[in-house]
Structure 1
Amino acid sequence: MLAVPLAPAPTVATRTAYWRQLLPALAALAALTRIPSFVRPLWNPDEGYLAVQARLLAQGGRLYETVVDRKPPVVPWLYEAAFAVCGSGTLTPVRVLAVLAQLLTAVLLASLARRRWGDTAGRTAGVLYLLVSVGLNPEDAQAATFEVFILPCTAAALWCADRGRWGAAGAAVACAFLTKQTGGAVLVPVAWLLHRSPAPRPGALRLAAGFALPVLAAAQLTDPAGFLFWTVTGSTAYATFTGSELHVLVRALTNTAILAVACAGLVPPVVRALRTAGAATADLWLWLASSAVAVTFGFHFFGHYYLQLTPAAALLATAALRTLPRERLTAALGTSACCCALFLAWGLLAPRPELTHAQRLATALAHRTGPDDRVLVWGMHPETYWLAGRTPATRYLTAGLLTNYSGGRDGPEVGEKYAVQGTWPVFRAELAAHAPALVVDDSRGKPYAPDRLPTLRHLLSARYEEVGRVDGAVLYARVTGE
């Protein structure tokens, strides 16, 4: 048999020319798709939570001790670093970092696709990803929060595994996990590629070491026991379907439908790829499936969870489009561009009533307190602290950790006895040590209202009096002499 000559490897000059042309285009598209993120001071309570955390860390707070959340440390540290360089009065620096994260994700996907299927596929993957990356409710797609920063880490994990760089792949998986726990789902396709590699055993050792070292370092830099509790063992009540079944089902179907609209140009080729699936794309299907499990994990189905699906979907669509007539590629890109424009218009024009409420509440809070006063905002909008420039009286920045309300849980499992273990004794001690000058009841009829919580109800009745209302929120000041 005659040997089939291999295609010549691209020269350094060819590779440089390719990226010299593609990178500016992807950078411009990444910036364009993130324009709405810069038009509002913040997009959702997660951004507010991170902003308050970063300020507290800058003031000497310690993560998982005096500043707590159920999330790993990377994004709080990222916010803290941005605030240290540019000040804490605006989220513009982290919005710029989010643009860079999306650009890096697109570049890694383009590189993956180009290595497997050629130059055109590389361009297609990068462009398709950026077009669908904003295809959710703007408060989910445009916010500079956890999922946006997961994506380059997961793409980097696949990129390294595709080249047999197992130590680097493990480190990338660790970075994804340390950004948000569900980022660790990318380990599934990475493990598949390892299994298919010529030397899986030494690769497994390097992969395990690459993953373990950053995680152990993060635990040591924070508080090992607190790190384990807040990121793994302390969230069992949060990750449950009980109590809000219909509410959660509606949210899941709604966000699935929204993303399906954004991916209208990708769905037909992805379906075709499913019909012709083989070993060449098995890792991509595993990536999509493990990301879908990550979206489902916890049974909350918030829109930003769905961002994890977009990189694998873009690559699978690219794999299918390369075998179809060119007009199918043009149609997919055109449809995706039109859908992207629709979501950008939504982000630029849609009103955000909850932001307006938080701004009014922050104005009232700042008017009634001094810069050195500690305050308590009892609700699910921690951004009020940041907007008002006031320090929280407690490490628990929302009522969710103390009641298990957790982003919309409206069933029977809300109350003091469903709180994260050990939080109420700490909460009582903090309020005794740093009695808030003002308490804002921002429950507005939700299941975590103070009249349903004996500890908070007793505190307000014994030591505070109502002094005003803002859009349904009730303001309480300390009684004179307290």
Structure 2
Amino acid sequence: MLAPPSASPRSVPGLRVPGPRTEPAPGRGARAAYWARLLPLLAALACATRLPSFRWPLWSPDEGYLAVQARMLADGGELYETVVDRKPPLVPWLYAGAFTLFGDDSLLPLKLLALAAQLLTAVLLVSLARRRWGDGAGRTAGVLYLLISVGLNPEDAQAATFEVFMLPCTAAAMWCADRRRWGAAGAAVACAFLAKQTGGAVLLPVGWLLWRGGAARRDTGRLACGLGLPVLAAALLTTPTGFLFWTVTGSGAYASFTGSELHVLVRGLINAALLAAACAGILPPVVRVLRIARTGAAELWLWLASSVAAVLLGFHFFGHYYLQLMPPLALLGAAALQILPRERTVRALVASGCACAVFLAWGLLAPRPELAHATRLAQAVRADTGPRDRVLFWGMHPETYWLADRPPASRYLTAGLLTNYSGGRDGPQVGEKYAVEGAWPVFRREMRRDPPAVVVDDSRGKPFAPDRVPSLRRILSVGYAPVARVEGAVVYVRVGR
């Protein structure tokens, strides 16, 4: 929390009291020179921190899900009808557009776009900090952000998925609100929401800035229009009822805390510890200074608080959720360091750089056994099917469809949508009755209308195994015969094929 008005930064030894900025605003030439010196540094740092993302064809099942969705959309699929997920449409459209322009055999264009998204986020943070606290604070904010941006499991930090593309939208919302451009701020909040639902949490600090600035009716209307029109357009471009169901109302069982409480809490604590290690250079000055000195950072604390609430929402605590905390943390770090003696800034940057190096080494050197398994499984299926044969991978790795280059037999690309296992649950809330509402009748029709040539049971003893899913067990017992095993996965071929 910010200190009460009576607190004075002069009472803290070693603090540099910033005071109001009285020097004239820098001219256009000075601004150009500032950015000409800083942008190459930020670009080089962004490339270095994203280097592990190019190490593997893909990093996470989310990337695989998006890649398969993009192929289905290219083949005439309809989002929220024959192509479904619990996410808004912006990132699937981004993948589909990249595949249309550059082909669907590689995620390299998306990796480059993710790099650009991180660089844009850093640039916006520089501009926010520089406007408030000067040139040095701007440089510090941008560099700190890029250094901590890799501070999670590489599968979470290096994947080109929803959160990475959401971050520049949240930063843009704060940038526009800071300059009282309310229509643009609302549009940026809408883009953040359309990248991932929790991106809409940035509306809280944006609303605070609007209220603090007087909240004129015209400004409120501009913010509302900027927010509402893009979301309405996205709903109309897909299907309004499907958009509402898949992005808001259809995830009740998934968002429940019941089942595997200890498992998800341990995951949350581990990811929080990883982020704290990455922020080792930021947290001490923030704790020491911002709880004492007044820095005009109330909206930054609100940004951080709303981001924490977004991480907690859904009770799953996946590592990539924590990416949303990094922009406000970088700005709060810059706010603290511009008050402390300058040597503390050097120490903070060195500590953050060392932590960044550790996470980069992790990303470059760590093996990917699940990706290796999915690749071998895809090779086995590809050898036994034709290019147009539909297949069903019953598991949690939709990237196997993309690696095998075979069309999925169902719109439900993971067993999680049909059993609620998605989210890592291994307790009582896994099974047919916890599936997405209405999913099983649709799935059965898909299996009857155009049965897959091959079904791969990749459950490997997990709670969504066919012997615990009666409908799938009946489908396999009547129409399929096991023909092979691949590292615990069972390959079934349609009888009579």
Q: Do Structure 1 and Structure 2 share a fold, with TM-score over 0.5?
A: yes
SS in 1 for 2:250: helix
Taking the aligned partners of 2:215 and 2:467, their CA distance within structure 1 comes to: 63
Equivalent residue, structure 2, for 1:116: 132
Aligned to 2:464, the other structure's residue is in SS state: coil
Q: Give, in angstroms, the shift of residue 269 of structure 1.
A: 1.3
The residue that corresponds to 1:46 in the other structure is: 62
Which of 337, 343, 355 is matched with 1:327 structurally? Answer: 343
Structure 1 range deviating more: 405-414 or 166-175: 405-414
Shift of 1:92: 0.5
Equivalent residue of 2:492, what SS? strand
State the 1:272 CA deviation: 2.3
Would you say the 8 A contact 2:204–2:306 is kept in 1?
yes
Cα distance in 2 for residues equivalent to 1:273 and 1:409: 40
Deviation of 1:276 after TM superposition, in Å, equals: 2.3
Q: TM-score, normalised by structure 1?
A: 0.98
Task: Tell me what 1:404 maps to.
Answer: 420
Query: For 1:54-88, what per-residue CA distance to the aligned partner results, in whole angstroms no more than 9, with x for missing partners?
Result: 01001111100010000000000111111111110
Identical amino acids, percent of aligned pairs = 73
Aligned residue in 1 for 2:235 = 219
Alpha-carbon shift at residue 351 of structure 1 (Å): 0.5
Q: Does 1:379 pair with 2:380?
A: no
| Structure 1 position 7, deviation (Å) | 1.9
**Could you tell me which residue of structure 1 aligns to residue 272 of structure 2?**
256
In the alignment, structure 1 residue 422 sits paired with structure 2 residue 438: yes
Q: Which amino acid counterpart does residue 113 of structure 2 have in structure 1?
A: L
Superimposed CA distance per residue, residues 304-363 of structure 1 (whole angstroms, 9 cap, x where no aligned partner): 000000000000010010011111000000000010000000000001100000000000
Q: Determine the C-alpha separation between the residues in 2 that align with 1:58 and 1:178.
A: 20
Give the match's secondary structure for 1:475.
strand
Q: 2:222 and 2:112 mapped to 1: Cα distance?
A: 33
Which residue in 1 is equivalent to 2:26? 10
**2:169–2:188 Cα contact (<8 Å) kept:** yes
Is the Cα contact below 8 Å between 2:295 and 2:335 reproduced in 1?
no
Aligned amino acid, residue 36 of structure 1:
P
Asked whether the 8 Å contact 1:273–1:317 carries over to 2, the reply is no
Amino acid at match of 1:419: A
The amino acid that maps onto 1:236 is G
- 8 Å CA contact retained: 2:394, 2:414: yes
Tell which has more relative contact order, 1 or 2 (C-alpha 8 A, sep 6+). Answer: 2
Taking only aligned residues, the RMSD between alpha carbons, in angstroms, comes to 1.1
Offset of residue 406 of structure 1: 1.2
- Shift in CA distance, 105/5, structure 1 to aligned 2, threshold 3 Å: closer
The question of whether the paired residues in 2 share the 8 Å contact of 1:373 and 1:437 is answered with: yes
The amino acid of 2:424's aligned partner reads: G
Structure 2 contact 394–455 (Cα < 8 Å) conserved: yes
Letter in 2 for 1:359: T
Q: Which stretches in structure 1 are left out of the alignment for 5+ residues? A: none
Q: CA deviation at 1:278?
A: 4.1
Structure 2 unmatched runs, 5+: 1-19
Within 5 A, what are the aligned runs for 1:275-424?
275-276=291-292, 278=294, 280-424=296-440
Aligned to 1:480: 496
Q: Which residue, 456, 462, 468 being the options, matches 1:452?
A: 468
Contact 1:375 1:439 in 2 (8 A): yes
1:205 equivalent to 2:249? Answer no
Kept in 2, the 8 Å contact 1:178–1:215? The answer is: yes
Whole-Å Cα distance in 1 between the matches of residues 301 and 95 of structure 2? 33
CA distance in 2, matches of 1:16, 1:161: 23
In the TM superposition, structure 1's runs of 4+ consecutive aligned residues that sit over 6 Å from their partners are none
Take 1:410 and 1:117, find their aligned partners in 2: how far apart are those partners? 49
How has the CA–CA distance of structure 1 residues 424 and 266 changed in structure 2, closer, same or farther, with 3 Å as cutoff?
A: same
Q: Deviations over 1:84-108 (max 9, x none)?
A: 1111001100000000000000000
Q: Specify whether residues 360 and 283 from structure 1 end up closer, same or farther in structure 2 by C-alpha distance, changes over 3 A only.
A: same
2:147–2:352: 8 Å Cα contact kept in structure 1?
yes
What residue is the counterpart of 1:129 in the other structure? 145
Q: How does 1:71-220 map to 2 (within 5 A)?
A: 71-220=87-236
Measured against aligned partners, the alpha-carbon deviations of 1:426-458 in whole angstroms (never above 9, x if no partner) come to 000011111000000000001001111111000
- AA paired with 2:394? W
Who is 2:454 aligned against? Answer: 438
* Distance apart, 1:275 and its partner CA: 1.2
